[in-house]
Structure 1
């Protein structure tokens, strides 16, 4: 005999999908954070000379710079 609640088939299907997803995630091969962080640091160091956030953008190559100055009459 079931307790006072009954499970609808929608809840069972939803729970089964969740279990399946968790099984997939549990079976994934994980990369250690320390390796990933080291790769990220290495990438940043290797590309720092071409990083516009570190070196800035020259006025001649900046596509967002205003082409005309504003003049008041």
Structure 2
């Protein structure tokens, strides 16, 4: 009985795998050069609002220490 259950589970898993592969194969793909160009354009358009490039002002930084540390 357990052999049939195991076999049934592997058939179900194989069907799921085949279905996933069909979905992935039917996806429309774009060329890497096109995607890279779009990514560069997006980065350039949004560079003014990027905190990694412009920094975070001290007044709006939520991670700024509230008190200073004093060493004795």
TM-score bracket for this pair, using the shorter chain length? 0.7 to 0.9
> Please, which runs of 5 or more residues in structure 1 have no aligned partner?
1-6
User: What root-mean-square deviation, in Å, do the aligned CA atoms of Structure 1 and Structure 2 show?
Assistant: 2.0
Runs of 4+ in 1 over 2 A off after TM superposition: 67-73
Question: Rg bigger for which structure?
Answer: 1
Equivalent residue, structure 2, for 1:46: 45
Equivalent residue, structure 2, for 1:61: 60
**Deviations for 1:14-58, whole angstroms, at most 9, x for unmatched residues?**
111111111111111112221111111011111112211111111
Q: Distance in 2 between matches of 1:50 and 1:63?
A: 17
> Please, which runs of 5 or more residues in structure 2 have no aligned partner?
1-5
How many residues in Structure 1 have an aligned counterpart in Structure 2? 67
**TM-score (structure 1 length as normaliser):** 0.75
**TM-score (structure 2 length as normaliser):** 0.75
